[in-house]
Amino acid sequence: MFNLMKTAVLMAAITALFMAIGAMIGGRTGMLLALLVAVGMNFYSYWFSDQLVLKMYNAREVDETSAPRFYAMVRELAQRAELPMPKVYLIDEAAPNAFATGRDPEHAAVAATTGIINVLSDRELRGVMAHELAHVKHRDILISTVSATMAGAISMLANFAAFFGGRDEHGRPANPIAGIAVAILAPLAASLIQMAISRAREFEADRGGAEISGDPQALASALDKIHRYAQGIPLNAAEAHPETAQMMIMNPLSGGGLRSLFSTHPATEERVARLMAMARER
């Protein structure tokens, strides 16, 4: 119920941003049109955003025949978590990463890059996939998928406002400086919304993943290894669609500056420390 409330708040915040940008582009009429677009996007995001994200990453579905060891690992962990078997996808990228998507546990999917399978041991990979299934179990995959889709739409609309300018409610040209400000501030606002709901969610998924796998040290080792490897290997799809970065187990975006300041992931060192504390308690 709490995650449903967070999803509703997220959709309301995104809708408000849409309306503000619409008002800047076309005054009252633009605001109403933006409201209609936002309602349509919310509907689309709820039902279809998972497939959109999987297509962004050129993910291919695998099964017991095409990826027997990986598929069997996910199936065993799903049984331990008392979850329905999710769809399983592989992404042909060297960068080590993984994510879960879908609107609920009955319509979930987990995806991993070929890079993460090559870099991690089976024990570490098991910890990573348990983390992703914890997202499914906590029912927060809808939040991350919807926020990724809507944040991308906000960035696109804000860029449109900056490039083409706008009109006030009387049809007069809007202040061009305001258009530039919208192009900068609207995506940042969307990032802040994502960041507010994402960092705590990652800690909870780490804890839940450690409980599902029964091996917090394996997940800690995996996170440390992914952090070190991912720094030198770009994840091309994430660079092209940075709004999806918060879905990953590790921030896949290169560079610092604002991207680091508004990272949706907590520090890897803190995540590892918490998991190692769990391991000592066990």
* Residue numbers annotated as active site: 132
Residue 196, exposed/middle/buried by CB under 10 A (0-12, 13-18, 19+)? middle
The two tokens of residue 148 are: 């990724």
What is the rounded CA–CA span in Å between residue 87 and residue 276? 30
Give, for 264, the enclosing helix (H) or strand (E). Answer: none
Q: Let me know: does 91 contact 35? Beta carbons within 8 Å.
A: no
Q: Which amino acid is at 279?
A: A
β-pair type (87-91, 108-113):
parallel
| Residue 103, number of CB atoms within 10 A of its CB | 19
List for the chain the helix, strand, coil content (%; round to 5).
70, 10, 20
* 130 vs 134: CA distance, rounded Å: 6
Angle between helices 216-230 and 122-137 (to 10 degrees): 100
Q: Which of 1, 7, 5 is nearest to 142 (CA)?
A: 7
SS3 100: strand
Measured from the Cβ of residue 117, the count of other Cβ atoms closer than 10 Å reads 18
- DSSP reduced 3-state for 247: helix
Spell out where the chain has E strands. 60-62, 87-91, 98-102, 108-113
